[in-house]
């Protein structure tokens, strides 16, 4: 797939910091897995960077306060998916300096692998590309599996988004430091940074910063979607396919997003836990597009206001990229660890086109990077034959959106697949 | 001439031989099927809906004849049919209380506040996976009619206000709508019970009422006004215990400020006006 990039709006804009606002909301379940357990109570004063929630299990991470202030309440608040979920609401202290007194840098070289993985968990680091999968789980490699390559994902194949691009341009040294930490800890032989070839400046800067002797290779990748899906990237770089149902580690590769690697460097070298992230605010409906450092938990309302507000005719705001991100139903939704972009669209881009019957052209089959049969999924989902869909491997679908993008009849294939997956998982819960 | 007769003769011979085997098998290996199973199955509605807990009507007929179930457990048959089956099998009808599906939400287009507009595949579950549809309430009816599609008996129709109206005469209390609703809003309750809570918001006070004009704000007046033990508060919502606490009376609903607990004399959501045009 080759969707139009639309990256020129923000790719040359330097990363700026959003001023601190008043209200912050940190949902306890902002990563995939078990929600975190609150470690503070309502009314308690918190410092920026202070631990406010502990991991609730292995597949879970810690949370840290994004601001200095007071805990307003701990209760059910609206999350990104429209549902209400447990969250910690913090009111920022208007007179605080918001300066972090970071923990002293850790001597990461002396840490054992287990200590290192625990530290990553306590730093609250998750996959920053969008999925928000806890990084320490990804870094925990079972005995007998050997990681040969550390693959760093700088593809940023989603249109509009430029946050990873700017990060590579502005903090190449931190990226390479983080890469070295992770590579040494995993015992990998080589680090490979995959960057789509539409970012030649990033490739150049990274190559310039590689210190002599550091086993790092920057690989330009073809510009195509979804180049940044980890299995796709492994195929592009190594020519190996990761079999269905297996993980990249089964072919000896560990894939991490550039943002994640920089977060690891910031924690181990500068003592900063994950309390802010870079967000691209773009799209035709926003007055001043920007790449911003946003404290986690900032309401989208404040982010959009900083960017000059919405233009008239705004119809839809998407959190994440336009292909895989989700529309938000409220501006009070907070920016989370996995939020790579806030994209604002107007009527022109979002009006729903008339849907026509499937003409069996097969374009969705050509488009599907996982060689599934999207048109069949759409037909089965409409007929509510969800079990049949499972037999056709609907759970191998990563919902990249290629089929829907390719469909000339404008059939909402991905939405039908998501509906079916929701039905299958929901029913599994209620019937044992 | 001779060979012309041989072939038919052999065929006839083989035919007679196998015919004889079949006749013997019929005589000695016959499985006696109770003729009453077939007759009972004829009387059952044949919808194979599963509301009785059996996979279909024939297995239910088998269980009926063996006496494992009562005819009344078929919620789909009319009373006359149940009677005639009971009479035919000479068992007690065991008529069950008639249940109907009722929706634990009264927030249609006129009541629930809309915070966004949903565009996409017209289905509740589809809307629920996209930021929970357009309504501000994350627990209420999405109003896109998954239950209407799922209903086997054509008993559910979306009304003008965007809420499913259940035709209690047609509703057979099979669990189709209960399974179809992504928000788990349908409940099968005895039709003779008039007291019902039409809200599913686990929030209290203003947090609830700012989402919907008919939201339960968990004030607890209904608990105080009803017979002791009839209603209890659970998770900021009143829960009615139909089996205990004496007869339900309309007292409990009088002081409800938001009309989230109702006394149903007829069907839910009758005579509702059309919902306003979509926002945006």
Q: Is residue B148 part of a domain?
A: yes
Q: What is the mean pLDDT of chain A?
A: 89
Shared domain check, A179 and A285: no
Burial of B70 (0-12, 13-18, 19+ CB in 10 A): buried
The proportion of chain A whose per-residue pLDDT surpasses 70, expressed as a percent, equals: 98
Shared domain check, A73 and A168: no
**In this model, does residue A331 exceed pLDDT 60?**
yes
Which of A263, A277, A36 lies closest to A139 in space, CA to CA?
Answer: A263
A122-134 pLDDT, tens digit each: 999 999 887 889 9
In total, the C-beta contacts within 8 angstroms joining chain A to chain B are 59
Rounded Cα distance between B235 and B219, Å, is 12
Q: Does B132 sit within 8 Å of A83, measured CB to CB? A: yes
Domain that residue B193 falls in: 99-263
B171-192 pLDDT, tens digit each: 888 888 888 888 889 988 888 8
State how far residue B100 is from chain A, nearest Cα, in angstroms.
21
Lowest mean pLDDT among A269-283, B7-21, B140-154, B247-261: B247-261
Q: Residue with structure tokens 């007179």? A: A95
Instruction: Give the CATH number for residue B85.
Output: 1.10.15.40
Shared domain check, A378 and A288: no
Q: Is residue B13 part of a domain?
A: no
Q: Does B202 sit within 8 Å of A329, measured CB to CB? A: no
| DSSP bridge partners of A194 | A153, A219
Q: Does A315 sit within 8 Å of B280, measured CB to CB? A: yes
Q: Is residue A21 part of a domain?
A: yes
pLDDT, residue A290, reads 92
pLDDT, residue A145, reads 84
A403-412 pLDDT, tens digit each: 999 999 999 8
A416: which chain B residues are within 8 Å (Cβ-Cβ)? 121, 126
Q: Does B203 sit within 8 Å of A329, measured CB to CB? A: no
**Final residue of a structural domain among A270, A288, A322:** A270
Q: H/E/C letters for each residue in A74-137?
A: EEEEECCCCCEEEEEEEEECCCCCCCCCCCCCCCHHHCCHHHHHHHHHHCCCECCCCCCCEHHH
Total number of domains constituting chain A: 3
The sign of the dihedral angle between the CA atoms of A284, A288, A289, A294 is negative
Shared domain check, A76 and A20: yes
A148-190 pLDDT, tens digit each: 999 999 988 899 999 999 999 999 999 999 999 999 988 888 9
Of the candidates B119, B126, B203, which has its C-beta nearest A419's C-beta? B126
Q: Kindly give the residue spans of alpha helices, DSSP state H, lying in B78-173.
A: 79-89, 124-129, 146-150
Q: What is the reported pTM?
A: 0.81
Which tokens in the block code for residue B275?
């919902």
Of the candidates A315, A415, A423, which has its C-beta nearest B130's C-beta? A415
State how far residue A102 is from chain B, nearest Cα, in angstroms.
36
A342-392 pLDDT, tens digit each: 999 988 887 777 889 999 999 999 999 989 999 999 999 888 888 899 999
Instruction: Give the CATH number for residue B245.
Output: 3.30.70.20
**In this model, does residue A313 exceed pLDDT 90?**
no
Shared domain check, A257 and A296: no
Q: Does A419 sit within 8 Å of B129, measured CB to CB? A: yes
Residue in A closest to B123 by C-alpha: A419
Q: Is residue A33 part of a domain?
A: yes
pLDDT, residue A89, reads 93
pLDDT confidence tier of residue A3, bands split at 50, 70 and 90: confident
Shared domain check, A146 and A94: no
Give the contacts of A331 (CB within 8 A, at least 6 positions apart): A299, A300, A301, A304, A317
Give the contacts of A110 (CB within 8 A, at least 6 positions apart): none
**In this model, does residue A109 exceed pLDDT 70?**
yes
Instruction: Give the CATH number for residue A150.
Output: 3.40.50.11540
pLDDT, residue A430, reads 45
Shared domain check, B192 and B61: no
Shared domain check, A95 and A116: no
Q: Residue with structure tokens 């609150």? A: A38
Whether residue B224 contacts residue B243, with contact meaning beta carbons closer than 8 Å, is answered with no
State how far residue A3 is from chain B, nearest Cα, in angstroms.
21
What b/e readout covers A191-214, taking b as 16+ CB neighbours within 10 angstroms? bbbbbbebbeebbebbeebbeeee
Total number of domains constituting chain B: 2
Q: Is residue B236 part of a domain?
A: yes
B23-59 pLDDT, tens digit each: 999 888 888 788 888 888 888 888 887 778 888 888 8
Shared domain check, A265 and A192: yes
Shared domain check, A243 and A124: yes
A345: which chain B residues are within 8 Å (Cβ-Cβ)? none
Shared domain check, B122 and B183: yes
**In this model, does residue A32 exceed pLDDT 70?**
yes
Shared domain check, A262 and A129: yes
Which tokens in the block code for residue A154?
């700088």
Q: What is the mean pLDDT of chain B?
A: 84
pLDDT, residue A63, reads 93
Lowest mean pLDDT among A92-106, A195-209, A283-297: A92-106
Shared domain check, A236 and A119: yes
Q: Is residue A112 part of a domain?
A: yes
A330: which chain B residues are within 8 Å (Cβ-Cβ)? 115-116, 136
- Here the ipTM equals 0.78
Whether residue A163 contacts residue A340, with contact meaning beta carbons closer than 8 Å, is answered with yes
pLDDT confidence tier of residue A30, bands split at 50, 70 and 90: confident
pLDDT confidence tier of residue B95, bands split at 50, 70 and 90: low
Shared domain check, A113 and A49: no
pLDDT, residue A130, reads 78
Instruction: Spell out which chain A residues touch chain B, with contact meaning CB-CB distance below 8 angstroms.
Output: 76, 78, 80-84, 315, 326-330, 350, 352, 412, 415-416, 418-419, 422-423, 426-427
Shared domain check, B244 and B107: yes
Domain that residue A406 falls in: 363-430
pLDDT confidence tier of residue A432, bands split at 50, 70 and 90: very low
Which tokens in the block code for residue B248?
């339900």
pLDDT, residue B280, reads 35
pLDDT, residue B279, reads 46
The proportion of chain B whose per-residue pLDDT surpasses 70, expressed as a percent, equals: 95
A266-309 pLDDT, tens digit each: 999 888 899 999 999 999 989 999 999 999 999 999 999 999 98
Shared domain check, B107 and B185: yes
Which of A299, A330, A275, A272 lies closest to A89 in space, CA to CA?
Answer: A299
B243-262 pLDDT, tens digit each: 765 567 788 888 888 888 88
**Final residue of a structural domain among A239, A270, A301:** A270
Whether residue B108 contacts residue B161, with contact meaning beta carbons closer than 8 Å, is answered with yes
Q: Does B280 sit within 8 Å of A419, measured CB to CB? A: no
Q: Is residue B14 part of a domain?
A: no
Q: Is residue B82 part of a domain?
A: yes
Shared domain check, B230 and B136: yes
Shared domain check, B200 and B177: yes
**Final residue of a structural domain among A270, A304, A323:** A270
């Amino acid at each position: 797939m080759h969707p139009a990039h639309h990256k020129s709006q923000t790719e040359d804009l330097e990363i700026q910091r959003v001023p601190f606002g008043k209200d912050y909301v940190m949902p306890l379940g902002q990563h995939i897995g078990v929600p975190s357990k609150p470690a503070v109570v309502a009314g308690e004063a918190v410092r920026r960077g202070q631990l406010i929630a502990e991991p609730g299990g292995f597949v879970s991470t810690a949370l840290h306060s994004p601001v200095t202030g007071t805990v307003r309440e701990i209760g059910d608040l609206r999350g990104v998916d429209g549902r209400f979920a447990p969250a910690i609401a913090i009111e920022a202290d208007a007179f605080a300096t918001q300066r972090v007194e970071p923990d002293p840098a850790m001597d990461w070289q002396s840490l054992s692998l287990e200590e290192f993985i625990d530290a990553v968990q306590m730093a609250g680091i998750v996959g920053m590309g969008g999925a928000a999968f806890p990084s320490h789980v990804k870094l925990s490699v079972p005995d007998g599996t050997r990681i040969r390559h550390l693959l760093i994902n700088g593809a940023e194949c989603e249109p509009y988004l430029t946050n990873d691009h700017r990060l590579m341009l502005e903090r190449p040294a931190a990226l390479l430091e983080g890469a070295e930490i992770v590579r040494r800890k995993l015992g990998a032989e080589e680090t490979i940074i995959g960057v789509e070839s539409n970012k030649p400046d990033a490739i150049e800067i990274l190559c310039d910063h590689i210190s002599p002797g550091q086993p790092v290779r920057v690989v330009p990748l073809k510009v195509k979607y979804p180049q940044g899906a980890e299995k796709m990237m492994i195929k592009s770089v190594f020519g190996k396919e990761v079999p269905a149902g297996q993980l990249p580690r089964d072919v000896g590769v560990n894939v991490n997003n550039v943002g994640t690697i920089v977060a690891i460097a910031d924690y181990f070298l500068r003592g900063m836990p994950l309390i802010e992230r870079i967000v691209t605010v773009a799209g035709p409906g926003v007055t001043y597009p920007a790449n911003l450092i946003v404290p986690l938990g900032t309401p989208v309302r404040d982010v959009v206001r900083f960017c000059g507000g919405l233009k008239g005719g705004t119809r839809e705001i998407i959190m994440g990229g336009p292909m895989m991100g989700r529309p938000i139903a409220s501006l009070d939704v907070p920016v989370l660890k996995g939020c790579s972009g806030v994209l604002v669209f107007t009527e022109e881009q979002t009006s729903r086109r008339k849907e026509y019957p499937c003409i069996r052209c097969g374009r969705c089959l050509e488009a599907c990077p996982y060689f599934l049969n999207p048109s069949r999924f759409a037909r089965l989902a409409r007929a509510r034959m969800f079990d049949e869909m499972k037999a056709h491997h609907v759970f191998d679908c990563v919902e990249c959106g290629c089929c829907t993008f390719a469909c000339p009849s404008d059939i909402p294939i991905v939405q039908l697949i998501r509906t079916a997956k929701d039905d299958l998982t929901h029913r599994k819960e209620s019937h044992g | 001439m001779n060979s012309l007769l041989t072939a038919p003769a052999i065929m006839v011979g083989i035919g007679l031989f196998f015919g004889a085997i079949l006749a013997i098998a019929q005589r000695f290996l016959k499985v006696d099927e109770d003729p009453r199973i077939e007759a009972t199955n004829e009387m059952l509605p044949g919808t194979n809906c599963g509301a009785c807990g059996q996979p279909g009507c024939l297995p239910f007929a088998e269980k009926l004849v063996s006496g494992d179930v009562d005819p009344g457990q078929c919620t789909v048959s009319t009373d006359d049919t149940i009677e005639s089956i009971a009479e035919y099998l000479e068992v007690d009808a065991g008529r069950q209380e008639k249940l109907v599906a009722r929706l634990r939400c009264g927030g249609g287009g006129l009541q629930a506040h809309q915070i966004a507009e949903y565009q996409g595949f017209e289905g509740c579950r589809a809307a629920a996976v996209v930021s929970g549809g357009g309504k501000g309430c994350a627990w209420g009816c999405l109003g896109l009619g998954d239950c209407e599609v799922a209903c086997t008996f054509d008993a559910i129709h979306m009304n003008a206000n965007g809420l499913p109206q259940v035709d209690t005469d047609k509703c057979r209390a099979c669990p189709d709508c209960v399974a179809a609703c992504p928000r788990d809003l349908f409940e099968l309750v005895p039709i003779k019970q008039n007291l019902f809570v039409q809200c599913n918001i686990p929030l209290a006070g203003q947090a609830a009422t700012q989402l919907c004009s008919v939201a339960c704000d968990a004030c607890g007046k209904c608990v105080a006004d009803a017979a002791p033990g009839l209603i209890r508060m659970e998770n900021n919502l009143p829960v009615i215990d139909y089996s205990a606490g004496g007869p339900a009376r309309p007292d409990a609903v009088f002081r409800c400020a938001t009309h989230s607990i109702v006394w149903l004399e007829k069907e839910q959501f009758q005579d509702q006006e059309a919902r306003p045009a979509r926002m945006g």
